[in-house]
Each structure stands twice: as C-alpha cells, then as structure tokens.
Amino acid sequence: MFSTHPPTKLVAVEEQRVHNIQTVIDTFRKAIDDMYVTTRFTNQRHHYRTKELKRQFKEANSSFMNCTILLEHLTSSLNKARENLARVDDALEVLSHDSTKSDKKRAALVTKQSDRVACIKKAVKQIKLLKNKRDQEEILWRQKAKLIFDECQKQEVKRLDLMKKTLLDFTQAMQIKDQQTVDHIYLTLAKDIQTKQNSKTDVEWWAKVYGAIEEEEVLENDEIDTSGHEQDDDTV
C-alpha cells in the first residue's frame, strides 16, 4: 500500500486523512443544500419545509382568527347598540315629564326603543353562537398547531442529528485507523536516521559537489579510516 520510504508513507497517510475529511465536508454540504433551498428572487436560503409549514399554520389558524375578529366586531356593535338604547331611554324619560310634547314624538321614541332592544337581543344571540363556534375552532386550531409543531420538532431533530453525525464523522476522519502502521513508520524513520545518516560522508559529498575536494581524496580518506579501525582491532 505504501512506499518503502517512511516519509513517503507518512505523506500517503496524511493524504488519506485529508481525503477522509474532505469526504465528510462534501457530504455535509450536500445535506445542507438538500435541507436549505434558495429562493428564486431573494437568493435567501431557508429550510425546504418552511413554506409548506407556514401555509399549514396559516390555514389551520384562519377559521379561529376569523371567528375572533367577527366576535370583536359584534361585541363592538352590541356596545354601540346599548349606548343608543340608553340615549333613547333618556329621551323618553325627559319626554315623560314634558306634557307639551306630542304623542307622535313619544310613539317615535318608543318605536326606536323597541328597535334598539331587538337589535341588542339579536347581537347577544349571535355573540353567544359565535363564542361557541370560536371555542370549537380554538380546539381544532390547537390540535392542528400541535401536529405542525411536532413536524417542526422532527425537522429540528433531523438538523441536530446531521450536525452530530457530521461532528462524529469529522472526528473519525481526523483519526488514523491503523496507528500501528504510523508507529512503525516513525520507528523505521528513526532507525534509518540512526544507522544510515553519516555526517562525515555528507560533508565530503557536498565538498565534492562544490569541487572543494577530488574523488580520490574521498577514497583515500575512506582507506585511512578503514586502516585505522583495523589497527584498533589488532590492538584490542
């Protein structure tokens, strides 16, 4: 799998690690692109379910909100009708103490009073029915809202799980699967440095490259070193 040279082996190990990390990054980017889409005109990114969930939320809430708004209008109309009735009652009270006013004027006020009372009774009945309907719509709305909320939670769990998986994959990608191989590479490298690196030979090689000494001088020096070692051996 690897070259026989330890440095080359280390490069291969690191290249594999970089490849593994890049694979995790590419996988995460693809998942994000699938999860967050770009809008056509604004180029803003949002979750692919956002538009649909907003639509469901709006539809689920519309009936309840319509009942609430209509109930507010009816309540406001009822309050105005009661104020108008109070003014008619006051006018009749004043008229009852004024004998100069005609019966026709009194009859008109009585008719207006009856109309106000009928209007109030009708509004009260409508409000009662509408309150019952609103209560029912609120129950349905809460049920639908809970389902939508549950779906939102599921999507959030998917997002968090993606982040968790990516972090775990990244951690694993950073690790070296065969640590023994790396340890062996370093041991081999240390052994090569210790046994194969010769400072004197390196210096003479560079001296020869730059023309400071001739090839024959290098050979003579080697022979001297060899003979010196042989004499040492005889002495021992």
Highest mean pLDDT: which range of 13-22, 182-191, 198-207: 13-22
70 vs 215: which has the higher pLDDT = 70
What's the pLDDT at 8? Answer: 79
91 vs 208: which has the higher pLDDT = 91
What's the pLDDT at 219? Answer: 52
Q: Give the domain ranges of the chain.
A: 6-178, 181-235
pLDDT band of residue 117 (cuts 50, 70, 90) is very high
Question: Which tokens sit at 111?
Answer: 């008719």
Closest CA to 162 of 21, 23, 35: 35
Question: Which tokens sit at 224?
Answer: 């001297």
Q: Give the model confidence (pLDDT) of 17-49 as tens digits.
A: 899 999 999 999 999 999 999 887 778 889 999
Average pLDDT over the chain reads 83
What's the pLDDT at 236? Answer: 41
What's the pLDDT at 1? Answer: 40
- Give the right CATH number for 6-178 from 3.40.640.10, 3.30.70.20, 3.40.50.360, 1.20.1270.60: 1.20.1270.60
CA–CA separation, 64 and 131 (whole Å): 11
Q: What percent of the chain has pLDDT over 70?
A: 85
Q: What is the pTM of this model?
A: 0.60
What's the pLDDT at 95? Answer: 79
Q: What is the DSSP string of the chain?
A: ---SSHHHHHHHHHHHHHHHHHHHHHHHHHHHHHHEEEPTTT--EEETTHHHHHHHHHHHHHHHHHHHHHHHHHHHHHHHHHHHHHHHHHHHHHHHT-TTS-HHHHHHHHHHHHHHHHHHHHHHHHHHHHHHHHHHHHHHHHHHHHHHHHHHHHHHHHHHHHHHHHHHHHHHHHS-S-HHHHHHHHHHHHHHHHHH--HHHHHHHHHHHTTSS-HHHHHHHHHHHHHHHHHHHHH-
Q: Give the model confidence (pLDDT) of 127-184 as tens digits.
A: 999 999 999 999 999 999 999 999 999 999 999 999 999 999 998 888 777 777 777 8
